[in-house]
Amino acid sequence: MLNADRQREVEQATDAFIVRAETLFGLRLPPVTVRFDLKGRAAGMFRVRHGNPEIRYNPWVFARWYADNLAETVPHEVAHYVVSRLHRRRTKPHGPEWRAVMQAFGVAPRVTCGYRPEDVADLPRRRMREHAYACGCMQHRLSSIRHNRIRRGKASYHCRKCRRPLRPVAAKE
């Protein structure tokens, strides 16, 4: 796990790249929330949540490969933030706009750090909850994403075998 001193260094590096972007692109960037709560294989993530920009870092990945992530992941995520402010329209996550910002930062525009699955196998991961569904011939396990799509009326799923619609199975008490 990443200690508090190193978390502060990552926050300072994030702020430094934001200031650099303001100078390079003539922007005034609102403050970004930095969190160290990401799990899984990804080292970082930029998102806008409830209108507030947020960069999430994976403290486990940073702790294991600190120098690499400070040099690559921090500018990578700040570049996503800059693109979101420069281009109000939808852009591809690692499209030409993002690559141009990375090049302006003097960092190779690589999409991933390239850790092998066995390098990150022991890191904590977020586990997706599964929900029980049934058709006419068997039980199915659906992810929370699919379950919520069904509940909101945005999707329906059918069994590949019997072609009947999947229905939720009542929870046992």
Specify the pTM. Answer: 0.72
Look at residue 35 and tell me if it is in a domain: yes
Alpha-carbon dihedral angle through residues 165, 166, 167, 171, given to the nearest 10 degrees: 170
Look at residue 173 and tell me if it is in a domain: no
Residue 114 and residue 161 share a domain = no
Catalytic residue from among 11, 22, 54, 77: 77
Q: What are the pLDDT digits (tens) for 10-64?
A: 999 999 999 999 999 999 999 899 999 998 778 999 999 998 999 999 998 899 8
- Per-residue model confidence (pLDDT) at position 90: 83
Domain extent, residue 12, equals: 4-120
CATH of the domain at 73: 3.30.2010.10
Share of the chain above pLDDT 90, in %: 72
- Per-residue model confidence (pLDDT) at position 129: 84
Residue 154 and residue 83 share a domain = no
Residue 87 and residue 141 share a domain = no
Q: List Cβ neighbours of 32 (8 Å cut-off, separation of 6 or more).
A: 14, 18, 53, 54, 55, 81
- pLDDT tier at 1 (50, 70, 90 boundaries)? confident
77 is catalytic: yes
